[in-house]
Structures are given as structure tokens and as C-alpha cells.
Amino acid sequence: MSLVGEGLVGGWRRGHAVVDRLDVGVEPGRVLGVAGPSGCGKSTLVRMLALLHDPWRGVVAVDGTPVPRMRHRAPAALRRRIGVVFQQPRAAADPRLTLEQVLTEPLRARGERDAGVLAARAEELSDRVGLTRDLRGRRPHEVSDGQLQRACLARALATGPDYLLCDEMTAMLDASTTAALVGVIGEEVARGLGVLTVTHDEPLLAAWADEVVRPWSGPR
């Protein structure tokens, strides 16, 4: 059981790989930290593991199932097992939606239409990440970055993923919000969630990650 990238090669410009022969494994109940200098390709690696960006070579496998080359989108059943939280919540949340709608988006995308079910799930997820009823009714421009990031974390957890990828999730946040979100994720890790976290915050990595890899340092 793990989310694995093997021999991953890829990037954005032909002939210029930013991810170059990388192996990475995210295991249930563990937090893997990924560190590296700015612009080296960490977000690109996250996007490959999130099944949002096709590697040129190599394979991503979810619990032993290799993900087929996507063309447009990876199979929904596999995508749903991997949650992602991005650095900038404002770029990741539709400004027209309330936070409640933001965090229930994946459930509606999966076909859930029952308003009662959606409301109950929204309340449960909001409680988990510390969003009050008042905040849930607001739109992104009416809340702080930290409050919006809480909603984005709730959204990432909405379908009960097996793996969570955090791409500089705490870069915009103050220390107490960072601690709160890391605490929420810690509870999920204790229940078996596998986490990969990318961050420049070395003290956070030291405190949070079970293991830290630095694939872009040293000779390749």
C-alpha cells in the first residue's frame, strides 16, 4: 500500500526536465517531507503524484495500480484517493462559491445531490478544520487566507482520500493556523492517511515529517 512515483521524468518545456528520474513513496500513516530550492520542480512533482500532470517517463502507482497515461484526466476513482492542498488558497478556490460550497465541491462532483447529506458532511468537515457556521456562509474575499486554507484542507479531505499532498500549504499562514492545520492532518495520519508535504519551512519539516527527502540536492 503506497502512492509511488518511480523513475519520474517530466516538466513543462520539451527537453527541459525539472523532475529527472525521481523515485518517491508516500506510505499510509506517515508524513514524507520534500525539500529543495525554489523553482527546482517540487510543485511539478506534486502535480504528477496528484495525477494532474503526466510524466514524460516513469510511472505513478496507487496501491500497486499503475495510473494509465491520462490524455485529459486520470480515472476519477484514482484521483479521488489523492487529496491536494496548494500554496495559495485564493488561486485554488472559486471566488463565486461560499466556503461551504468550496468544501463540498468534490462530493457534488462525485454526484452527491442530497442537500441534507451535503449539509451534514459540510458541518462535520468544518468542525474538523475549525470553521464556524458564520465563516462557512462567506465567500473567499470575505475571509482570511488562513480561513480559506482551512476550507481548502476540508475540501481535500472531503472524499476521504488515502493520500494527501500538501504543496507549501502553510506558506501564507501564521504560526497558530499552521499548527492547527498540521494538527488536523496529524489526526488523519493517525487513522492511516499518507502525507507528502513540500515546504521551505525547515523547523516545520523537522517537527512534522517522519522522513525528509531532498531529491534536487547533490550530483545526479
In the complex, the residues that contact ligand ATP under the rule CB under 6 A are 11-12, 18, 36, 38-44
Contact 166, 189 (CB under 8 A): no
What is the nearest approach in angstroms of ligand ATP to the Cβ of residue 26? 17
Nearer to ligand ATP, 34 or 143 (CB): 34
CB of 105 to ligand ATP, least distance (A): 22
> Smaller CB distance to ligand ATP: residue 40 or 212?
40
Shortest distance, CB of residue 72 to ligand ATP, whole angstroms? Answer: 16
Least Å distance, CB 152 to ligand ATP, is 17
Cα separations (Å) of 150 from 54, 108, 137, 196? 28, 19, 14, 18
Provide the 3-class DSSP secondary structure of residue 203: helix
Q: What is the residue-wise DSSP string for 161-187? A: -SEEEEESTTTTS-HHHHHHHHHHHHH
Q: Which residue do the cell numbers 494538527 mark?
A: 183
What interhelical angle do 145-157 and 115-129 show, nearest 10? 120
- Judged by beta carbon, residue 7 or residue 39, the one nearer ligand ATP is 39
* Nearest in space to 164 (alpha carbons), one of 206, 196, 123, 212: 196
According to DSSP, residue 121 is labeled H
CB of 40 to ligand ATP, least distance (A): 4
Q: C-beta of 50: minimal distance to ligand ATP in Å?
A: 12
Q: Which is nearer to ligand ATP, 133 or 214 (CB)?
A: 214
The cell numbers describing 175, all together, are: 504560526
Using the minimum distance from each CB to ligand ATP, give the nearer residue, 116 or 218: 218
Whole-angstrom distance, CA of residue 180 vs CA of residue 168: 15
Output 42 or 136, the one with its CB closest to ligand ATP.
Answer: 42
